[in-house]
């Protein structure tokens, strides 16, 4: 692992420990854009911990964090951080959430780290070096039929009022796949595609910090990450599709139906 990859893994574990240690504590919960768009005191504390550690190790690197950290880069490197992906789960005491750290160099994805504190699972990837789960190589699944596939998705925070709400796509896939899961952490959904637990994943309305690490982990594990039309994976996180190559092609056909 490169120096930044090692530091990113260490930082993710430290933030994860904070989250795990405070998991059963009373929560301070606020809302952001909507009543279901939550932020907790632990989200904020985790981002502060991560940002401070990055600045100490690489003071010239930039940082973009979900909870308002926006530090310009002087080095060409930018860390894109979701300090606690799955905040709603965490706020309700549902133990499925993750720390997500992606690192770009001159705008290109270079390092991806997704850490699940409750399972002590660290998913990691460096461009050109493959993907790992706790230091063991991972690959996407070999499933070739939608009827045998386990898929995952999610719904945006504005689902209550959004005209395009993903329900149409959900109905299409729930009728054709073996099953569809909605677990509440896009970073873990992407990591699970990478290690073969899920065969495919799609979602609308994500953000840069949700996907910055997961895209690279999927791609380095042999999967495909794209938009819903098969184009380049959107850095914005809007309209995301990730799957093993065979299921990716089949999902594109379903998504394209009128």
Asked if 33 and 65 sit in the same domain, the reply is yes
Q: The dihedral of CA 202, 203, 208, 209: what is its sign?
A: negative
User: Cα 26 vs. chain centroid, distance in angstroms?
Assistant: 26
Q: What is the pLDDT of residue 99?
A: 98
CB atoms within 10 A of CB 70: 8
Residue 158 shares a structural domain with residue 96? no
**CA-based torsion, 14, 19, 24, 29: positive or negative:** positive
Bridging pattern class, strands 38-40 and 121-126: unpaired
Are 173 and 123 members of one domain? no
Same domain, 33 and 68: yes
DSSP tally for the chain: helices H, then strands E: 8, 15
Residues 62 and 41 in one domain: yes
- Do 74 and 126 have their domain in common? yes
Domain count of the chain? 2
Clarify whether residues 119 and 45 are in a common domain. Answer: yes
Residue with tokens 């990055």: 54
Q: Which of 137, 162, 188 is the last residue of a domain?
A: 137
- pLDDT in the model for residue 42: 95
Q: pLDDT tens, position by position, for the chain (258 residues)?
A: 689 999 999 999 999 999 999 999 988 888 866 665 678 899 999 999 999 999 999 999 999 999 889 999 999 999 999 999 999 999 999 999 999 999 999 999 999 999 999 999 999 999 999 999 999 999 999 999 999 999 999 997 666 666 678 999 999 999 999 999 999 999 999 999 999 999 999 999 999 999 999 999 999 999 999 999 999 999 999 999 999 999 999 999 999 998
Task: Please indicate, yes or no, whether residues 247 and 123 belong to a single structural domain of this protein.
Answer: no
Range of the domain at 14: 3-137
Task: Evaluate whether 87 touches 34 at the Cβ level (below 8 Å).
Answer: no
Please tell me the predicted confidence (pLDDT) of residue 225.
98
Alpha-carbon distance values, 97 to 43, 70, 119, 249 (Å): 11, 23, 10, 29
Residue 52 three-state SS:
helix
Same domain membership, residue 211 and residue 121: no
Task: Classify burial at 144, counting beta carbons within 10 Å of its beta carbon; exposed 0-12, middle 13-18, buried 19 or more.
Answer: middle
The pLDDT of residue 27 is 80
What are the two backbone dihedrals, phi and then psi, of residue 248, each rounded to the nearest 5 degrees? -60, -45
Alpha helices of the chain — where are they, by DSSP H?
A: 3-21, 41-57, 87-91, 167-174, 186-194, 208-211, 214-220, 245-255
pLDDT at 164: 72
CATH number of the domain to which 192 belongs: 3.40.190.80
pTM of the model: 0.95
Cβ(137)–Cβ(129) below 8 Å: no
- Which pLDDT score is estimated for 214? 98
pLDDT of 159 reads 63
């Amino acid at each position: 692992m490169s120096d930044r990859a090692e530091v990113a893994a260490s930082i993710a574990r430290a933030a994860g420990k904070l989250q795990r240690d405070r998991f059963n504590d009373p929560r301070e919960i606020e809302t952001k854009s909507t009543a279901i768009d939550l932020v907790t005191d632990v989200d904020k504390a985790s981002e502060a911990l991560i940002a401070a550690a990055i600045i100490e190790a690489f003071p010239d690197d930039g940082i973009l964090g979900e909870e308002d950290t926006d530090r310009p880069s002087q080095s060409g490197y930018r860390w894109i951080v979701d300090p606690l992906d799955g905040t709603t789960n965490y706020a309700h005491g549902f133990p499925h959430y993750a720390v997500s750290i992606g690192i770009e160099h001159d705008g290109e994805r270079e390092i991806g780290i997704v850490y699940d504190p409750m399972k002590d699972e660290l998913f990691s990837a460096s461009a050109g070096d493959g993907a790992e789960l706790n230091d063991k190589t991972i690959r996407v699944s070999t499933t070739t039929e939608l009827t045998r596939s386990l898929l995952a998705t999610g719904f945006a925070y504005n689902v209550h009022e959004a005209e395009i709400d993903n329900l149409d796509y959900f109905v299409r896939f729930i009728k054709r796949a073996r099953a569809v899961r909605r677990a509440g952490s896009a970073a873990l959904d992407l990591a699970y595609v990478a290690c073969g637990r899920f065969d495919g994943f799609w979602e609308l309305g994500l953000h840069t910090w949700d996907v910055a690490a997961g895209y690279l982990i999927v791609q380095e594990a042999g999967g495909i990450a794209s938009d819903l039309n098969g184009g380049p994976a959107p850095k914005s996180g809007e309209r995301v599709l990730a799957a093993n190559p065979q299921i990716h092609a089949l999902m594109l056909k379903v998504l394209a139906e009128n």
